[in-house]
């Protein structure tokens, strides 16, 4: 059985398995893909309690070039530094995204210039664009009429959400100057006020809900 046929089977399984799980995306380049280790655990718990998801409590880790990404309708990627996609990585990720998968990349501060360059190899024929405030990702479960919440200051700039669309659907969301992942972490990691953490979790739930329902 050749690799191409296996990939097709995995894609079909991805569409019909009804999975409601997410995974951390591991990438090359030296960036700390493993940062915010408690974040997704807390986001999953919040989503299961508030938007009726049924995700496994412990997220798995998958490599960007692996067939395993097709087992998950939602991938989360974060870090502070360099990001490198090989040609095979880029093709695999593109196939995943145009086949119905969703990737959320949350800049943990410092990855923006690297990840934007890497993404050009995934979608060389598309331009990343800012997500308009009337997009449903801002109100699928909780209302954010002004866009992304500001969780950590970083450079003091307004938080931004950029994305790639395929056939009218948002398939990749890149958030920066917001740092949602830090807001999802255990409360004793950054000592953020509960009101700030709640904003981060609610916005995360919106992203998850959009990814699972669209």
Enumerate the domain spans of the chain. Answer: 3-213
pLDDT of residue 163: 98
What are the strands, taking DSSP E only, across the chain?
Answer: 22-26, 60-63, 74-79, 102-107, 129-130, 160-166, 169-176
Instruction: State the pLDDT at residue 154.
Output: 66
Q: How far is CA 82 from CA 99, 169, 186, in A?
A: 27, 28, 25
Full-prediction pTM beyond 0.85? yes
- What does the angle CA 182 – CA 188 – CA 158 come to, to the nearest 5 degrees? 30
Q: What share of the chain is helix, strand, coil (3-state, %, to 5)?
A: 40, 20, 40
Between CA 60 and CA 45 the distance in angstroms is 15
Backbone angles phi, psi at 104, to 5 degrees: -110, 120
**CA 33, 35, 40, 41: dihedral to nearest 10 degrees?**
130
The mean pLDDT values, 10 residues at a time, for the chain of 214 residues are 44 53 95 91 97 94 96 94 96 97 93 96 97 97 96 81 97 95 87 92 98 94
Q: CB-hemisphere CA count at 13 Å for 168?
A: 2
Contact 108, 176 (CB under 8 A): no
User: Is the CATH number 3.40.50.12140 carried by domain 3-213?
Assistant: yes
Can you tell me the distance from the alpha carbon of 191 to that of 111, in angstroms, rounded to the nearest whole number? 23
Rounded Cα distance, 27 and 206, in Å? 25
């Amino acid at each position: 059985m050749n690799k191409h046929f296996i990939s097709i089977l995995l894609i079909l399984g991805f569409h019909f398995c009804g999975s409601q799980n997410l995974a951390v995306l591991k990438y090359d380049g030296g960036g700390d893909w493993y940062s915010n280790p408690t974040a997704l655990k807390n986001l999953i718990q919040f989503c299961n309690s508030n938007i009726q998801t049924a995700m496994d409590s412990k997220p798995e880790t998958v490599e960007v070039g692996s067939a395993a990404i097709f087992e998950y309708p939602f991938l989360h990627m974060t870090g502070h530094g360099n990001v490198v996609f090989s040609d095979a990585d880029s093709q695999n990720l593109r196939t995943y995204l145009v086949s119905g998968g969703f990737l959320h990349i949350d800049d943990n501060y410092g990855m923006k210039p690297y990840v934007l360059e890497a993404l050009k190899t995934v979608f060389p024929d598309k331009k990343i664009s800012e997500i308009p405030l009337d997009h449903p990702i801002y109100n699928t479960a909780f209302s954010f009429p002004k866009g992304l919440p500001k969780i950590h200051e970083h450079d003091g700039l307004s938080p931004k959400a950029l994305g790639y669309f395929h056939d009218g659907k948002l398939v990749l969301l890149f958030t920066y100057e917001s740092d949602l992942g830090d807001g999802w972490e255990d409360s004793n990691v950054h000592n953020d006020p509960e009101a700030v953490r709640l904003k981060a979790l609610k916005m995360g739930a919106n992203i998850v809900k959009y990814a699972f329902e669209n």
